[in-house]
């Protein structure tokens, strides 16, 4: 099953940890908030995506199975 | 099936004053509850959801989501939500907290045809297994709240409500009547949208599966329950999402502004004619409210009033709003004014919205009002024929899809349509500074907003 990254924009406080840990898929806007590449996370990046989601200080980065 | 009323407009708001309960029941027939004897042929409430789905009724609050699908989701979650998958009571919320400033149709409907809305609440409550109902209004609704509480009490005595229905008033801000913000307020929280999932249909008021439908949508449900999906579809266009009739608020430079009920698919020009035609030379039409878009006047007249058709043209049907902009107003200044209003309505929760909408509003303000040599600052704008335009485009790309609610998307869409339709003004302002028309007071309403500091 494929997984996708999603940001809870209410919880996100632009700490920038995710962009630091997963620059392959996450960049930052001019205010520091993450911009996530759309679509499923490539298999090879899943472990890094999991780590980035777990490392978010506000748990705003969500890695969820696609429906 | 109840003897169908003549299938002509108006369906929802009969001419003359509001009908008494007795007059209402005489006109439309008894409320067709599932356990009422003597009904023949009409959809039972067990089938009401299927009938609403078959009718193709879409939400009339602005988003246009299929009403039947929403009802089915709530009914199904309710059936499996309790301990050991026993049924729990769901909640129905009639959303009458009209927060689109140029819309007046929900208020008029609740004033003139409250029984039709409340029939819809009761029927929808029965269909989705609700045990509670709410009717939400704007805090500024005034006497309407007390009037509706009296109507509800009258119906209660005759057992017509099926569930206790409470009138609640909610905040008057633009996002306060968005459905997750509404649910938040019913739960004692702030008037702010929340992150989904869970959607209200999964976990809403009091943690229960909650059906939030616009009051006009519920009035159509009351008619579909009585007369069926086929009757409903006799008006409107057969294409998806355009069945039935809808209330549209027409304002701006027309001779007879007001609320009109139209068959969906009616050309914009026909409705403008019904509203008395332009009161002065027109230049553009805002269709769909502030989550809709601007259309140049002449080409707009031929567009059918349906969400797919208006979207294809760069606007929307929204909650049914048309504003005619006269040539005496500056379309760019109006767009900048509303961009500022929408930025002021941000709940301040999501970073891209909190930062991006004020930046976008400021950019529009500079495009509209700055002198060409006035030292306007454009962020990282790449050099181009019109300074600022590129930065505005970038900002719109940065806010789209990045909020918990659709305020950023709606604002970006509205601004994009303004920059497209008023492209000549943008060029002229950038060369010669603001036109004389910017001194005219804004035409578009922005309650509680005094302009950007």
CB contact under 8 A, A30 and B350: no
CA-wise closest residue to B331 among B279, B375, B293: B293
Of chain A, the percentage scoring pLDDT greater than 70 comes to 100
The answer to whether the CB of B356 falls within 8 A of the CB of B399 is yes
Phi and psi of A23, rounded to 5°? -65, -20
DSSP for B414-434, written as a single string: HHHHHHHHTHHHHHHHHHH-S
CB contact under 8 A, A9 and B349: yes
ipTM (interface predicted TM):
0.94
Residue B135's H or E segment, with its range, is strand B130-138
Q: How far apart are CA B197 and CA B404, in angstroms?
A: 10
Pairing of strands B245-252, B210-214: unpaired
SS3 (DSSP) at B442? coil
CB contact under 8 A, A29 and B352: yes
- Nearest C-alpha in A relative to B402: A9
B282 CA: distance to closest CA in chain A (Å): 40
| Dihedral angle of Cα A40, A41, A43, A46, to the nearest 10 degrees | -140
The beta-carbon neighbor of A10 closest among B355, B356, B404 is: B404
Q: How far apart are CA B336 and CA B356, in angstroms?
A: 14
pLDDT value, residue B54:
94
The beta-carbon neighbor of A14 closest among B351, B353, B404 is: B351
Cis preceding-peptide flag for B197 (omega within 30 of 0): yes
pLDDT in tens, chain B (453 residues): 455 666 788 999 998 879 999 999 999 999 998 876 444 455 555 689 999 999 999 999 998 999 999 999 999 999 887 777 777 899 999 999 999 999 999 999 999 999 999 999 999 999 999 999 999 999 888 899 999 999 999 999 999 999 999 999 998 889 998 999 999 999 999 999 999 989 999 999 999 999 999 999 999 999 999 999 999 999 998 666 799 999 999 999 999 999 999 999 999 999 999 999 999 999 999 999 999 999 999 999 999 999 999 999 999 999 999 999 999 999 999 999 999 999 999 999 999 999 999 999 999 999 999 877 655 555 555 555 566 899 999 999 999 999 999 999 999 999 999 999 999 999 999 889 999 999 999 999 999 998 876
CA-wise closest residue to A13 among A62, A64, A56: A56
Q: What is the DSSP letter of B4?
A: P
Chain B residues touching residue A12 (CB < 8 angstroms)? 350-351
Best residue in A4, A16, A29 for a mutation probing chain B (most B CBs within 10 Å): A29
Phi and psi of B417, rounded to 5°? -65, -35
pLDDT value, residue B4:
60
Per-residue pLDDT tens digits for A16-36: 999 999 999 999 999 999 999
pLDDT value, residue B3:
58
A9 CA: distance to closest CA in chain B (Å): 5
CB contact under 8 A, A33 and B404: no
Q: What is the DSSP letter of B216?
A: H
End-to-end CA distance of chain A: 9
pLDDT value, residue B40:
47
Q: How far apart are CA B126 and CA B34, in angstroms?
A: 8
Best residue in B402, B404, B407 for a mutation probing chain A (most A CBs within 10 Å): B402
CA distance readout (Å), B372 to A42, B36, B416: 48, 71, 22
Chain A residues touching residue B349 (CB < 8 angstroms)? 9-10
The beta-carbon neighbor of B195 closest among A8, A14, A35 is: A8
Strand ranges inside B60-160, DSSP E: 90-96, 130-138
Best residue in A10, A13, A18 for a mutation probing chain B (most B CBs within 10 Å): A10
Query: Per CB distance under 8 Å, which residues of A are interface residues toward B?
Result: 7-14, 29-33, 35
Chain A residues touching residue B391 (CB < 8 angstroms)? none
The answer to whether the CB of B136 falls within 8 A of the CB of B94 is yes
Instruction: Say which residues have a Cβ less than 8 Å from residue B155's Cβ, sequence separation at least 6.
Output: B21, B115, B118, B122, B161
Look up tokens 């989601």; give the residue.
Answer: A53
Q: Give the tokens for residue B167.
A: 């009138």
CB contact under 8 A, A31 and B351: yes
CB contact under 8 A, A9 and B351: yes
CB contact under 8 A, A9 and B352: yes
Q: Give the tokens for residue B316.
A: 């929307």
Residue A63's H or E segment, with its range, is strand A61-65
Cis preceding-peptide flag for B244 (omega within 30 of 0): no
Phi and psi of B315, rounded to 5°? -125, -150
The answer to whether the CB of B194 falls within 8 A of the CB of B184 is yes
pLDDT average, residue stretch A37-43:
95
Q: How far apart are CA B163 and CA B125, in angstroms?
A: 7
Query: Per CB distance under 8 Å, which residues of B are interface residues toward A?
Result: 194-195, 349-353, 355-356, 379, 398, 402-404
A1 CA: distance to closest CA in chain B (Å): 20
A-B CB pairs within 8 A amount to: 40
| Dihedral angle of Cα B442, B445, B450, B453, to the nearest 10 degrees | -70
SS3 (DSSP) at B183? helix
What is the CA B110 to chain-centroid distance, rounded?
15
């Amino acid at each position: 099953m494929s997984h996708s990254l999603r940001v809870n924009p209410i919880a996100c406080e632009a700490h920038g940890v995710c962009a630091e840990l997963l620059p392959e898929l996450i960049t930052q806007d001019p205010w520091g908030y993450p911009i996530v590449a759309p679509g499923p996370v490539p298999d090879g990046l899943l472990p890094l995506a999991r780590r980035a989601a777990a490392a978010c200080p506000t748990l705003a980065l969500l890695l969820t199975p696609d429906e | 099936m109840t003897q169908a009323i003549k299938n002509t407009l108006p369906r929802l708001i009969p001419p003359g004053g509001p009908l008494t309960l007795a007059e209402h029941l005489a006109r439309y027939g008894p409320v067709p509850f599932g356990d009422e004897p003597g009904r023949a042929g009409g959809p039972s409430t067990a089938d009401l959801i299927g009938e609403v789905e078959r009718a193709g009724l879409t939400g009339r609050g602005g988003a246009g989501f299929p009403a039947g699908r929403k009802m089915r989701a709530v009914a199904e979650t309710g059936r499996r939500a309790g301990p050991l998958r026993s049924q729990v009571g769901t909640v129905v919320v009639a959303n009458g907290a009209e927060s689109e400033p140029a819309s007046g149709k929900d208020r008029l409907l609740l004033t003139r045809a409250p029984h039709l809305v409340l029939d819809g609440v009761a029927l929808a409550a029965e269909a989705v297994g609700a045990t509670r109902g709410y009717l939400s209004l704007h805090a500024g609704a005034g006497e309407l709240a007390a009037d509706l509480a009296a109507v509800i009490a009258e119906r209660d005595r005759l057992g017509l409500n099926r569930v206790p229905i409470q009138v609640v008033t909610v905040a008057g801000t633009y996002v306060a009547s968005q459905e997750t913000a509404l649910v938040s307020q019913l739960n004692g929280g702030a008037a702010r949208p929340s992150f989904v999932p869970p959607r209200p249909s999964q976990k809403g008021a009091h943690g229960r599966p909650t059906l939030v439908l616009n009051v006009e949508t519920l009035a159509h449900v009351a008619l579909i329950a009585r007369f069926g999906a086929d009757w409903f579809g006799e008006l409107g266009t057969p294409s998806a999402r355009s069945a039935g009739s809808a209330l549209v608020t027409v304002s701006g430079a027309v001779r007879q502004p007001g609320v009109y009920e139209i068959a969906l698919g009616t050309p914009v020009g026909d409705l403008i004619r019904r509203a008395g035609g332009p009161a002065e030379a027109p230049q553009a039409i805002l269709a769909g409210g502030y989550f809709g878009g601007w259309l140049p006047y002449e080409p707009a007249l031929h567009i059918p009033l349906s969400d797919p058709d208006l979207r294809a043209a760069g606007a929307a049907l929204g909650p049914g709003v048309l504003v005619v902009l006269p040539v005496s107003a500056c379309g760019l200044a109006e767009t900048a004014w509303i961009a500022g209003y929408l930025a002021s309505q941000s709940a301040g929760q999501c970073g891209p919205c909190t930062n991006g909408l004020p930046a976008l509003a400021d950019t529009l303000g500079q495009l509209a009002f700055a002198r060409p040599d006035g030292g306007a600052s454009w962020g990282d704008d790449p050099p181009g024929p019109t300074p600022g335009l590129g930065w505005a485009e970038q900002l719109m790309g940065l806010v789209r899809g990045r909020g918990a609610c659709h305020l950023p998307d709606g604002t970006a869409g509205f601004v994009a349509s303004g920059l497209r339709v008023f492209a000549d003004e943008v060029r002229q302002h950038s060369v010669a500074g603001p036109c004389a028309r910017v001194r005219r007071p804004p035409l578009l309403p922005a309650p509680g907003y005094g302009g950007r500091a």
